[in-house]
């Protein structure tokens, strides 16, 4: 049977285009048994110093980028309360998640853990949308205009570090699963060909298994780049290591809920991926 829920979805609280009530309404309509709402949680002390800031801040969803944990806390607490209350009112199971950008500058992880200790949530997804070097002081949005900010050699180093960052997020033990492992393909396939970063990819997938952290096959890739995240060579390694997988739509609007889940199920079966995240 094809998975009848999503754990990766967004509402207007972050950059989704549909409200919570619209998403829940649709989830019921298509026969979902529950919905995990995983709005973005992106906090970096220098986010407004990013070379990508002009582009990011000019978008309608610029409010999702935060630079300070303390001032961000009240709205996240209120969001959690609203989800709990709505779940009860709608008589529908809503799991409260967040899609967290994992940063690696000194102090970030401790601050994030402290922040999370004040939130009533159910699970976390590691979803990484930025490139940076190990000290993580300056971050670049993963975007088609990456060539404006860095030359090919720099981009190579940034992407290599990106896979290492996702590995660190798995090692933190905070996350149920990591999202869109090879999201960097969004910048253009030339930045991450199947044979590129083979060592980084293999180490990441091994660490997912070791840290009992899952990953997703995302049909958002089908909508954005005409292929799943992740690419076939990564799916093969996931199968070989026995990493747990969930099908994700990464829905940002009602029409994306459950998007091509049947196809994704067939894809997983093709690789013999049977170990799944069910709750
Ligand atoms: Zn994401
Ligand atoms: Zn997402």
pLDDT digits (tens, 9 = 90+) for 99-140: 999 999 999 999 999 999 999 999 999 999 999 999 999 999
CA of 272 from ligand 1 middle (Å) equals: 25
pLDDT at 234 over 80: yes
The pLDDT-based confidence of 179 (bands split at 50, 70, 90) is very high
Q: Which residues surround ligand 1, an ion (CB under 5 A)?
A: 127
CA of 264 from ligand 2 middle (Å) equals: 17
Q: What is the mean pLDDT of residues 207-214?
A: 98
Q: What is the pLDDT of residues 51-77, one digit of tens each?
A: 999 999 999 999 999 999 999 999 999
Q: What is the pLDDT of residue 43?
A: 98
CA of 90 from ligand 1 middle (Å) equals: 27
What's the pTM? 0.98
CA of 198 from ligand 1 middle (Å) equals: 22
CA of 47 from ligand 2 middle (Å) equals: 19
Q: What is the pLDDT of residue 274?
A: 93
Average pLDDT value for the chain: 97
- Ligand lying nearest the CA atom of residue 128: 1
Q: What is the mean pLDDT of residues 191-196?
A: 94
pLDDT at 79 over 90: yes
CA of 9 from ligand 1 middle (Å) equals: 9
Domains within the chain, CATH numbers bracketed? 5-270 (3.20.20.140)
Q: What is the pLDDT of residue 279?
A: 83
Closest by Cα among 163, 153, 77 to 126: 163
CA of 230 from ligand 2 middle (Å) equals: 14
């Amino acid at each position: 049977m094809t998975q009848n829920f999503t754990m990766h979805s967004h509402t207007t609280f972050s950059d989704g285009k549909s409200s919570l009530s619209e998403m829940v309404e649709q989830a019921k309509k298509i026969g979902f048994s529950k919905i995990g709402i995983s709005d973005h949680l992106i906090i970096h002390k220098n986010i407004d110093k990013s070379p990508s800031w002009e582009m990011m801040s000019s978008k309608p969803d610029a409010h999702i980028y935060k630079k300070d944990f303390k001032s961000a806390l009240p709205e996240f607490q209120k969001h959690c309360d609203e989800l709990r209350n709505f779940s009860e009112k709608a008589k529908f199971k809503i799991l409260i998640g967040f899609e967290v950008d994992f940063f690696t500058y000194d102090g970030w992880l401790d601050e994030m853990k402290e922040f999370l200790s004040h939130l009533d949530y159910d699970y976390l997804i590691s979803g990484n949308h930025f490139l940076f070097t190990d000290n993580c002081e300056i971050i670049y949005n993963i975007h088609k205009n990456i060539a404006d900010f860095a030359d090919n050699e720099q981009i190579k180093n940034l992407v290599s570090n990106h896979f290492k960052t996702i590995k660190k997020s798995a090692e933190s033990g905070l996350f149920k699963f990591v999202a869109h492992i090879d999201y960097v393909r969004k910048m253009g396939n030339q930045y991450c060909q199947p044979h590129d970063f083979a060592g980084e990819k293999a180490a990441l997938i091994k660490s997912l298994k070791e840290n009992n952290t899952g990953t997703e096959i995302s049909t958002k890739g089908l909508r954005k780049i005409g292929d799943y995240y992740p690419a076939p060579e990564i799916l093969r390694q996931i199968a070989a290591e026995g990493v747990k997988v969930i099908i994700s739509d990464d829905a940002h609007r009602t029409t994306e809920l459950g998007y091509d889940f049947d196809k994704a199920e067939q894809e997983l079966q093709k690789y013999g991926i049977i170990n799944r995240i069910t709750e």
